[in-house]
C-alpha cells in the first residue's frame, strides 16, 4: 500500500474516533453542547484531509459505489456540522435536545461508507 494511502486510512480512522465520540457523547447527553460541535468539526476536518490524500494517492477521481457514498457522507457531515453551529448559536432548547436524532442518521450513513472502504481495502489485501 502506498504511504500516502496508508496515511489516509489512518486519518479516516482518526476521523471515525472524533466523529463517533461527538455523536455518541451527544446522544448520551441528549443535548448538543459546544464540545460536541468541536468533535464534529475535528471529525469533518480529518475526514476531508483523508479524502484529499486518497484522491492524491489514487491519482484522480474514481466513481465507484464506495466513493459516491463517501462523498455523500462527507457532504452530510459538513451539513451536520454547520447545522450544529447554527443550532448552538440560536440556542433553541428544543433543537439542542433533539439534535442527536440528526447526528445518529448522519453518523450511520458515514459508518456505511467507512465500513465499505474497510471491506474493499481488506479484499484488495487478500
**What is the end-to-end Cα distance of the chain in Å, rounded?**
12
Mean pLDDT within 112-119? 90
3-class SS string, 55-105: HHHHCCCCCCHHHHHHHHHHHHHHHHHHHHHHHHHHCCHHHHHHHHHHHHH
Residue-wise pLDDT for 2-12, tens only, equals 899 999 999 99
Give the predicted TM-score (pTM) of the model: 0.92
Number of domains in the chain: 1
Domain region containing 41: 3-125
Q: What is the reported pLDDT for 60?
A: 86
Mean pLDDT across the chain, nearest whole number? 94
Q: What is the reported pLDDT for 121?
A: 73
Residue-wise pLDDT for 58-111, tens only, equals 888 888 888 999 999 999 999 999 999 999 999 999 999 999 999 999 999 999
Residue scoring higher pLDDT (64 or 125): 64
Of the pLDDT bands very low, low, confident and very high (cuts 50, 70, 90), residue 126 is: low
Closest CA to 86 of 32, 20, 16: 32
Does residue 125 carry a pLDDT above 80?
A: no
Amino acid at each position: 500500500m502506498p504511504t500516502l494511502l496508508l496515511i489516509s486510512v489512518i486519518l479516516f480512522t482518526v476521523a471515525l474516533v472524533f466523529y463517533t465520540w461527538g455523536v455518541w457523547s451527544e446522544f448520551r447527553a441528549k443535548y448538543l453542547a459546544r464540545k460536541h460541535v468541536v468533535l464534529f468539526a475535528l471529525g469533518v476536518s480529518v475526514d476531508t484531509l483523508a479524502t484529499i490524500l486518497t484522491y492524491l494517492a489514487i491519482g484522480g477521481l474514481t466513481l465507484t459505489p464506495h466513493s459516491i457514498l463517501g462523498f455523500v457522507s462527507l457532504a452530510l457531515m459538513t451539513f451536520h456540522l454547520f447545522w450544529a453551529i447554527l443550532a448552538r448559536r440560536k440556542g433553541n432548547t428544543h433543537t439542542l435536545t433533539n439534535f442527536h436524532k440528526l447526528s445518529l442518521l448522519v453518523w450511520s450513513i458515514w459508518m456505511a461508507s467507512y465500513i465499505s472502504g474497510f471491506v474493499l481495502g481488506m479484499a484488495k489485501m487478500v
